[in-house]
C-alpha cells in the first residue's frame, strides 16, 4: 500500500541536528534579553535574506503579530483591517490588543485581501491593517500601501506562509511597515515553533525588541507592556540551517507546482492557482477550486482523495467572521463577504512540499483528475 503523502513535511537533516546538539552542549539555551548568540546570528541572516534592516526573533508567528500590533500602537478603540479568509492566528493578536477586527473580502482568483474592499472598509478608526500572503502568494501590496499611506494606517504583513515569496522583485517581509513570519513545522522552513518580525523602521524594531522581553527598556526597567516571547538558542540554530536551505526548498516546491499545474490545467472542473505577473509564489500550499456543477461536492472530493493516501486539506473551511468568537466581536453577518465565503466552500489544498518526488506529484495529479472526473 502506498505510504501517506502528507500535506506538508519538515525536512530535517544532519545540519539541523548537529546545530541543535552543539547548542545543548554549549549550555547557553536562551538569553534573558531574547538575543543570545545564535538568535542574533539568525536575525542577521534572516534580515539579509529578506532585504531589511531589522529582524527580531520570537517564539511563534502569533507572538510576532502581537508584538507588531503593540509596536504599532494598536489598543482599545482601534480597528485593524484584515481578511477573514485566514487562520485564527491572524485574528487573535488583534483581540489580545483590545482592538476590533474589521474583515475585508478577498479576490476570487488569488484568495488574498482585495485592495478594492480595503478602500471600502477602511475608516478613521483604522489604526493598522494586516494583509495575509495566503498559501505563499503575496498580496497586491502597492495599492494596499497607497491606501494605508493616505489614511495613516500601519501595514503589518502576515507572511507566515510566504518565506521567499516575491512581489515586484522585493521579498515578502520587506513590503509593508513591518512583517511577521512563522516557523511552524509545516512551513517552508521551520524551527519547530518560532517566529520572526522584519522591518526597516528603527522605532518599530526597538519597540518589538522591548515587547518580546516584558517591555524592558533595559534590564528590569519596564516602560511598556510586553511579554516573554523569546526564541530559544537551539530553535535559532535550527533556523539558521533551514534558512540556508530555503532557496532549494522553495525551488523544489515551484517545480512540483509546475508539474501539478501541467497535469490539472486541462480540467474543466477545477480552477488551478495562479501566479500573477510581478509575483513569485512560494507555494506553501497548492490550492485548487472546484467550479461549475461540482462546486458543492468539495468535501466529498477531499474525502475520496484522502482515501488514496493523499493528505488533501481544507484551508479554511470556516472564515474568521463566521467563527463564534469573531461573530460576537466583529458584528459581520453571513453573506457580507461573498468571495471569502464562496472560496471557503470550494477550495482545497494538495501536497507539493519539497520532500515529494516527481512520481508522487504525478500520482497526486492523476488521482485528483480521476476523482474530480
How confident is the model over 177-217, as pLDDT tens digits?
Answer: 999 999 999 999 999 999 999 999 999 999 999 999 999 99
Architecture of the domain made up of 246-372: Alpha-Beta Complex (3.90)
Contact between 278 and 79 (Cβ < 8 Å): no
Which is nearest to 62 in space by CA: 239, 183, 204, 226? Answer: 183
What pTM does this model have?
A: 0.96
Question: pLDDT tens for residues 137-186?
Answer: 999 999 999 999 999 999 999 999 999 999 999 999 999 999 999 999 99
User: Would you kindly state where each structural domain of the chain is located, as residue ranges?
Assistant: 14-241, 246-372
Contact between 23 and 328 (Cβ < 8 Å): no
For residue 136, give the DSSP letter: G
The position carrying cell 493523499 is 310
The CA distance from 171 to 82, in Å, is 20
- The alpha helices in the chain, defined as continuous H runs, are 14-26, 37-50, 61-71, 88-96, 115-121, 141-151, 202-211, 233-264, 298-307, 324-330, 338-346, 358-372
Question: pLDDT tens for residues 73-107?
Answer: 999 989 999 999 999 999 999 999 999 999 999 99
Q: 14-241 in CATH: which number?
A: 3.40.640.10
CB atoms within 10 A of CB 144: 25
Which is nearest to 368 in space by CA: 315, 298, 316? Answer: 298
Contacts for 212 with CB less than 8 Å, ≥ 6 apart? 34, 56, 58, 63, 67, 226, 227, 228, 229, 230
Amino acid at each position: 500500500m502506498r505510504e501517506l503523502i502528507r500535506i506538508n513535511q519538515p525536512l530535517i537533516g544532519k545540519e539541523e541536528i548537529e546545530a541543535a546538539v552543539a547548542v545543548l552542549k554549549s549550555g547557553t539555551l536562551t538569553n534573558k534579553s531574547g538575543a543570545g548568540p545564535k538568535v542574533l546570528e539568525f536575525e542577521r541572516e534572516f534580515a539579509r535574506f529578506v532585504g531589511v534592516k531589522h529582524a527580531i526573533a520570537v517564539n511563534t508567528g502569533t507572538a510576532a503579530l502581537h508584538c507588531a500590533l503593540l509596536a504599532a500602537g494598536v489598543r482599545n478603540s482601534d480597528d485593524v483591517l484584515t481578511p477573514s479568509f485566514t487562520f485564527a492566528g491572524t485574528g487573535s493578536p488583534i483581540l489580545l490588543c483590545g482592538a476590533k477586527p474589521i474583515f475585508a473580502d478577498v479576490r476570487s482568483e488569488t484568495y488574498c485581501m482585495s485592495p478594492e474592499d480595503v478602500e471600502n472598509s477602511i475608516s478613521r478608526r483604522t489604526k493598522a491593517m494586516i494583509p495575509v500572503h495566503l498559501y505563499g502568494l503575496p498580496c497586491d501590496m502597492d495599492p494596499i500601501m497607497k491606501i494605508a499611506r493616505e489614511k495613516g494606517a500601519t501595514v503589518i504583513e502576515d507572511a507566515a506562509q510566504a518565506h521567499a515569496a516575491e512581489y515586484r522583485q522585493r521579498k515578502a517581509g520587506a513590503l509593508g511597515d513591518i512583517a511577521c513570519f512563522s516557523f511552524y513545522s509545516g512551513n517552508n522552513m521551520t524551527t519547530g515553533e518560532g517566529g520572526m518580525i522584519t522591518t526597516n523602521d528603527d522605532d518599530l524594531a526597538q519597540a518589538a525588541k522591548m515587547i518580546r522581553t516584558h517591555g524592558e527598556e533595559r534590564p528590569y526597567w519596564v516602560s511598556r507592556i510586553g511579554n516573554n516571547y523569546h526564541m530559544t538558542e537551539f530553535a535559532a540554530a535550527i533556523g539558521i540551517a533551514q534558512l540556508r536551505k530555503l532557496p532549494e526548498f522553495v525551488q523544489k516546491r515551484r517545480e512540483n507546482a509546475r508539474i501539478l499545474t501541467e497535469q490539472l490545467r486541462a480540467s474543466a472542473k477545477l480552477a488551478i492557482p495562479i501566479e500573477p505577473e510581478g509575483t513569485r509564489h512560494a507555494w506553501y500550499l497548492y490550492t485548487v477550486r472546484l467550479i461549475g456543477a461540482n462546486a458543492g461536492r468539495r468535501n466529498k472530493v477531499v474525502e475520496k482523495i484522502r482515501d488514496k493516501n493523499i493528505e488533501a486539506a481544507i484551508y479554511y473551511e470556516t472564515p474568521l467572521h463566521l467563527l463564534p468568537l469573531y461573530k460576537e466581536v466583529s458584528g459581520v453577518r453571513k453573506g457580507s463577504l461573498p468571495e471569502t465565503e464562496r472560496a471557503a466552500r470550494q477550495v482545497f489544498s494538495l501536497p507539493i512540499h519539497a520532500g515529494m518526488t516527481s512520481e508522487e506529484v504525478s500520482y497526486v495529479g492523476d488521482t485528483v483528475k480521476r476523482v474530480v472526473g
